[in-house]
Structure 1
Amino acid sequence: MNAATPAPDTEALDRKQQYEGNKLNKRLRHQVGDAVVDFNMIEQGDKVMVCLSGGKDSYAMLDILLSLQRNAPIDFSILAVNLDQKQPGFPEEVLPTYLKQIGVPFRIIEQDTYSIVKSVLEEGKTTCSLCSRLRRGILYRVAKEEGCTKIALGHHRDDILATFFLNMFYGGKLKAMPPKLVSDNGEHVVIRPLAYVREKDLIRYAAWKQFPIIPCNLCGSQPNLQRQVVADMMRDWDKKHPGRLETMFKALCNVVPSHLADRTLFDFAGLHATGVEDAEGDHLFDEEDIEPVSELSRLFAPQPLPLGE
């Protein structure tokens, strides 16, 4: 007769999950806090418009910014904003219910961009570019109406890297998403507080927090998007070569214009021998000395967290 299988210790499992969740929460707060400080994203008296899509990234961004707001040495306010694009089947009650529950000021904008995108683009064409342009214009208008000084978007580290590869592979540019920039109309400062955060950590965080995720059905039927191809490539790299994405992101933060070929960033035409030793000079005949990721690794490596903290 087989011995009975012992029942799982659910209390111990719950304690472990809570411990791991708290540890993840602390790491994400550190990463967002570091990004905010490194790029001076939020200043005294700012009113930050946090753009919510209903996806894991924007939920996490709002949650972490609210946590930082409670403990920050400066005062700033937050307004959560969602654009209801009138997609068929969109559960319009989910976000207002959640935002009322957590007690954050919010505004829901109803604008039928879905019909515009579908009427303008031919069947089979990708919708992301037109959809994002329409959203951007509406959000800029709302930010101005509400007196918001910063617009926070939920793009994470992997989004920034994917944009870099998209521009390099398909656009012929070394260009990514900057953590902070001025809007194209010159009237707003756009920030990306999740710039140092890995997507896989956001997936875990959303599951732990049990955010009421709303899928984007507008572009869900576009499996061959170039961005999806690049995202799959990056996930494969991360699986086969742990640490590669961290190294690539460090490269975006450590650019050497004199060792590229953009004549607008470096005066190659005016370059002449000076007779003075230069540590950043050419090492044509030397083996390239590749140093391991060090400075930024602290942002992504799991940090030990004492029990009870």
Structure 2
Amino acid sequence: MSPLQSLPAIPPRADRQLHEQHKLGKRLRHQVGRAIADFGMIEDGDKVMVCLSGGKDSYTLLDVLLQLQKKAPVDFSITAVNLDQKQPGFPEHVLPDYLRGLGVDFHIIEQDTYSVVTRVIPEGKTMCSLCSRLRRGALYTYAEQHGFTKIALGHHRDDLVATFFLNLFFHAKLSGMPPKLLSDDGKHVVIRPLAYVREADIEAYAQAKGFPIIPCNLCGSQDNLQRKQVKRMLQAWEQESPGRIETIARALGDIRPSQLSDPKLFDFLALGTRDGSALPDAHAWLGGETHDRAT
């Protein structure tokens, strides 16, 4: 046998693509399952409302959750919910046709938030903030009316990292987008099962699955968004130092309050004081007040 005959056969390109797609799907299921377990996102008997926008992230979220549901250690239901914001030219048939094909329970909320946003926000200004509030209000109201116990959103690892830097650069605070949170009114538990998933993997998965993507023409086309600035910065960092975004994402799960500067999180006043002696208050320090010292 010649040396060439002893080499393993190279599989056809189509077979390699299927193999890579299988590996990607397995990785996504593992990462989503781990996030659900790490943060206690889904419990037995949960009614999970998956918010479906028509973008790659929410399609991937729904697809992976439906796969995990079949083998999950707990019993839970899934309902896909889309908010039709009445944007001009929105293809209303795409999501219902896709969801009927899956056989998944779904509902389309119809609410004209588009007119509200375009009326209130001056031309050329960023619409995302108001649009997001109106969309969240409509989804929360529907979830409360129909007894959903969890609201699942499609934010991924890169979204969590970008939100941290948005708050750091533009709002002067260290906060981000937690994988699981309780709404301000205490009525809703919001979960982000894609918290460990890279956006690049979602893009590849959505392309491989052929999801019928619906672009957001209301705010997605705005070039001056702060989030886009941060995304470009993170992409440049990743190109320069591959793995940096993953390192930052892990750091968001390893917070050490005593190494920061927030007195609400760490009692700096009590740190290292001698014999419990009282310290002058801020007014005394700032005002330069004197006090009698023992001689």
TM-score normalized with structure 1 length: 0.84
Residue aligned with 1:81, SS: strand
Residue 268 (structure 1) aligns with? 268
Contact 2:113 2:131 in 1 (8 A): yes
Runs of 4+ aligned residues of structure 1 deviating over 4 Å after TM superposition are none
Residue by residue over 1:69-116, the C-alpha shift from the partner in whole angstroms, topping out at 9 and shown as x without a partner, is 001011000000000001111000000000000110000011110000
Residue by residue over 1:115-134, the C-alpha shift from the partner in whole angstroms, topping out at 9 and shown as x without a partner, is 00000111111000000000
How far apart are residue 273 of structure 1 and its match?
A: 7.2
Contact 2:85 2:113 in 1 (8 A): yes
* Aligned residue identity for 2:172: G
How far apart, in 2, do the equivalents of 1:104 and 1:238 lie?
37
Residue 65 (structure 1) aligns with? 65
How far apart, in 2, do the equivalents of 1:231 and 1:221 lie?
15
Residue 203 (structure 1) aligns with? 203
Contact 2:153 2:192 in 1 (8 A): yes
Contact 2:126 2:224 in 1 (8 A): no
Residue 124 (structure 2) aligns with? 124
Is residue 239 of structure 1 aligned with residue 216 of structure 2?
Answer: no
How far apart are residue 220 of structure 1 and its match?
A: 2.8
Residue 97 (structure 2) aligns with? 97
Residue by residue over 1:12-50, the C-alpha shift from the partner in whole angstroms, topping out at 9 and shown as x without a partner, is 111111100000000000000000000000000000000
Residue 47 (structure 1) aligns with? 47
Contact 2:80 2:104 in 1 (8 A): yes
Two-structure CA RMSD over aligned residues (Å): 1.3
How far apart, in 2, do the equivalents of 1:110 and 1:12 lie?
47
How far apart, in 2, do the equivalents of 1:225 and 1:144 lie?
32
Q: Show the 5 A alignment for 1:125-204.
A: 125-204=125-204
* Aligned residue identity for 1:165: F
How far apart are residue 221 of structure 1 and its match?
A: 3.0
Identity of aligned residues (%): 66
Residue 230 (structure 1) aligns with? 230
How far apart are residue 193 of structure 1 and its match?
A: 0.3
Residue aligned with 1:83, SS: strand
* Aligned residue identity for 1:34: R
* Aligned residue identity for 1:102: L
For the pair shown, the structure with the greater C-alpha radius of gyration is 2
How far apart, in 2, do the equivalents of 1:184 and 1:99 lie?
31
Contact 2:25 2:205 in 1 (8 A): yes
* Aligned residue identity for 1:254: D
* Aligned residue identity for 2:23: K
Q: Note the residue ranges of structure 1 that are not aligned, 5 or more in a row.
A: 1-10, 275-309
How far apart, in 2, do the equivalents of 1:113 and 1:255 lie?
38
How far apart are residue 146 of structure 1 and its match?
A: 1.6
Contact 2:87 2:218 in 1 (8 A): yes
Q: Note the residue ranges of structure 2 that are not aligned, 5 or more in a row.
A: 1-10, 275-295
* Aligned residue identity for 1:77: S
TM-score normalized with structure 2 length: 0.88
Residue aligned with 1:80, SS: strand
How far apart are residue 177 of structure 1 and its match?
A: 0.1
Residue 27 (structure 2) aligns with? 27
* Aligned residue identity for 2:181: L
Residue by residue over 1:154-203, the C-alpha shift from the partner in whole angstroms, topping out at 9 and shown as x without a partner, is 00000000000000001010000000000122100000000000000000
How far apart, in 1, do the equivalents of 2:114 and 2:126 lie?
13
Residue by residue over 1:123-156, the C-alpha shift from the partner in whole angstroms, topping out at 9 and shown as x without a partner, is 1110000000000110011101221000000000
